A = this chain, B = another copy of it.
């Protein structure tokens, strides 16, 4: 399923709306959370938001770190669900501020991919991205 995950970023980087459409399960219950935003529900709304973002971002590139893949349920021999978590280090050009909270340059993302049968293509069911704010949650409390 990592090829689907990588294709997602290729689609954003190249502004390929058709590729993006092909990567999502077509369902009214799919969901996508952009950094700092409320959830979008249903593939129509999700794809509309990506089309808008791709139309407004002149240049964007993602460098993924800490990519981790786990299939669900853990240990299944022919999994049909996968959870991919990663950190997105984002390099972007002009026009970014107007579309979404991508200006922070770093986000963490949890994606859920599914496939119909063990041989079918993996597709996105859900994507939840959030900004990384420069705080240390385990820092000792100030007196």
Contact = CB atoms under 8 A, between A and B. Distances in A.
Interface of A: 25, 27, 29, 31, 33-39, 41, 49, 52, 56, 66, 68, 70, 72-74, 76, 80-81, 83, 85, 87, 95, 98-101, 108, 110, 112, 114-116, 125-126, 128-133, 135, 137-138, 141-142
Contacts of A137: 34, 37, 49, 52, 99-101
Contacts of A74: 25, 27, 29, 114, 125
A114 B73 contact: yes
B132 A130 contact: no
Given A29-B70, A112-B72, A116-B73, A141 B56 contact: yes
A112 B83 contact: yes
Contact of A36 (B39, B72, B131): B131
A132 B128 CA distance: 12
Contacts of A56: 141
A49 B85 contact: no
Contacts of A72: 72, 80-81, 112, 114, 125
Contacts of A81: 72-73, 81
Contact of A131 (B70, B130, B141): B130
Kindly name the residue among A83, A99, A101, A115 whose own CB sees the greatest number of chain B CB atoms within 10 A.
Answer: A83
